[in-house]
Amino acid sequence: MPTSTEAHAVPVTRQLSFLDRYLAVWIVAAMAAGLLLGRLIPGLDDVLDAVKVGSVSLPIALGLLLMMYPVLAKVRYTETARVTGDRRLLGASLVLNWVIGPALMFALAWLLLPDLPEYRTGLVIVGLARCIAMVLIWNDLSCGDREAAAVLVAINSVFQIIAFAGLGWFYLQVLPGWLGLATTSAEFSVGAIAISVLVFLGIPLVAGYLTRTIGERTRGREWYEGRFLPRIGPVALYGLLFTIVMLFALQGEAITSAPLDVVRIAVPLLAYFVLMFGGSFVLGYRLGLGYAKTATLAFTAAGNNFELAIAVAIGTFGVTSGQALAGVVGPLIEVPVLIALVYASLWARRRYYQEI
């Protein structure tokens, strides 16, 4: 067992498993494989989208569930009370996710895409869809606080059901009207949003809770965390890679058929992810939350629920719409950027925190 000094002397990447260490490579390969499959196999997108769970393609739904279950099985649910009592963390998360995040995406969309109303609207929808799924992976890889992530994701889920439609109306109609800008009329299905949240958070959350509860009661915490969790841990990353392949296979033609438009959409998205993560990380540091909670705050604020954003854009404006393309470009930018920010977060831990 290395000492604290020895652990800090080891490069961050060497502290990760082989799968984690080269995750950026696997993700790029998964994205490329998905794009190639979507382009080379005619009608593949129709086959993948033929069966849906809520408004999400069945293969993507299965990948999301596989991705989230092992992470939620790692959460110590008996310790979540300490998170709900941390008013600084909860308050900062609510403000970042439901005030600053949507407002920043609105500003960037209008500033950088003033002549492209469909893409601009799509980005606003992405900004409203706060992350409840993939953020758990980024948080886990960055050694963030699992219990805090579970609580913040649950809070985001509740707010997503309650606030999504109202915020969509505000940012697409009310605020542009106040500013003398063009408005967009859109109706969002609260029921579809609720189903998406219940399926993609509810199922793996219940499964993870029951797995931990039964496992600890029957075999003890030492066996559960020392032997069982390491066995199911890689399933989360396999699920992530499978989801990426399916997502890009489903939307590959839309992405590759309009490369210049993808670049235009990518610029505000890139700015958004970097600004939200960097600002949230600095805020957590200033609040004295400690590394683990600061990383969790930053990733839950920077990530977006692209599955919901794509489903809403397609359901409201159509599968061939510019709004849908903007939603599809979201994960194209978010996935590699946030995996890069995992490494940046681990570097910040070594540089600014006296923690292993």
Token representation of residue 299: 């990733």
Backbone angles phi, psi at 331, to 5 degrees: -65, -25
Considering the entire predicted model, what is its pTM?
Answer: 0.78
Q: Which amino acid, one-letter code, is at 324?
A: A
Contact 85, 74 (CB under 8 A): no
Q: Where are the alpha helices (DSSP H) in 100-145?
A: 101-112, 117-128, 135-141
Helix axes 23-40, 229-256, angle to 10 degrees: 40
Amino acid in position 110: W
Number of H helices, E strands in the chain: 20, 2
In the chain, where the domains are located: 13-352
239 with 65: CB under 8 angstroms?
yes
8 A C-beta contact, residue 315 and residue 189: yes
Q: What letter does residue 171 receive in the DSSP assignment?
A: I
Q: Which structure tokens are listed for 246?
A: 């399916």
Tell me the pLDDT of the chain (356 aa) as tens digits: 344 344 444 444 455 566 666 777 887 888 889 888 888 887 777 777 777 766 667 887 788 788 878 878 888 888 777 677 788 999 999 999 999 999 999 999 999 999 999 999 999 999 998 887 778 888 988 999 988 988 898 888 888 888 888 898 999 999 999 999 998 877 777 677 777 777 777 888 889 889 999 999 999 989 998 999 889 888 888 888 888 888 778 767 777 777 888 899 999 999 999 999 999 999 999 999 999 999 999 999 998 887 778 777 877 777 667 888 888 788 778 888 988 999 899 999 988 886 54
Q: Measured between alpha carbons, how far is 103 from 107 in angstroms, rounded to an integer?
A: 6
| Region of residue 86 (left: phi > 0; alpha: psi -120 to 50; beta: else) | beta
Domain spanning 13-352: CATH 1.20.1530.20 = yes
